Copies of this chain bind each other. A is one copy, B any other.
């Protein structure tokens, strides 16, 4: 899929690191050596390394080299700083995903809804409530708003599978950018019902709200994901610049 050279090198190195071909804290081969190995220019190689840095896989040290600091992440986890669909996360964790569509509606947003979602007043959207299961355990209750004009022809059947797959492979839309806010909120009756939670146990859950943009620069999706607190686990890697 990725035809850019730097991406091929990036993926190759990433895979090698994940497969323990370099010990933790060990130095990778020098730029010079890698340039010869991949037969590319220095800029191209450095770009691939830069991607590994932002992923938190390696750390570069001027005058010394590039150190492997990768640590495998646990099961049942989601990464942030990357855009990944529920199905992709499930696959990465080797678990079986299932999605149940609780509600499939078409809306014209009023003022209150517009303020809530970030879409303009009067925007035509699909509004979905979806429940995501992992190995038959309900984990996430999603409230999705998709701009109709950007996501034409969305159906309940598609929503039961992967909407992102539809966006990318059928509509050929490119997802570029997703801005997310994480908060903790009180459990509602709906949460309790569908996520099979007991207020006497946990009385709140993790909420991730996201605004997602496509390559046209239009914000086409607002989603609020309500996560079972005992399975919620988000990773992040921050780099000081």
- Whether B213 lies near A182 (C-beta < 8 A) is no
A29 CA to B67 CA in the complex, in Å? Answer: 38
- CB pair B178–A237 under 8 Å, yes or no, is yes
Closest B residue, CB atoms, query A241: B51
On whether A182 and B83 interact (CB within 8 A), knowing A239-B176, A239-B177, the answer reads no
Q: Decide if A236 touches B204 in the complex (CB within 8 Å).
A: no
Q: A61-B215, A80-B236, A238-B82 are in contact. Are A69 and B177 (CB under 8 A)?
A: yes
Q: Bound complex: CA of A147 vs CA of B189, how far in Å?
A: 46
Q: In the bound complex, what is the Cα–Cα distance between A169 and B130 (angstroms)?
A: 50
CB neighbors of B among A19-72 (8 A):
25, 43, 51, 54, 56, 59, 61, 64, 67, 69, 71
Which residues of A, 122-170, contact B by the 8 Å Cβ criterion? Answer: none
Does residue A105 face the partner (Cβ distance < 8 Å to B)? no
Q: Which residue of B51, B59, B206 contacts A177 across the interface (Cβ within 8 Å)?
A: B59
Our pick among B43, B203, B235 for the contact of A204 (Cβ within 8 Å) is B203
Chain B residues near A81 (CB, 8 Å)? Answer: 80-81, 236, 238
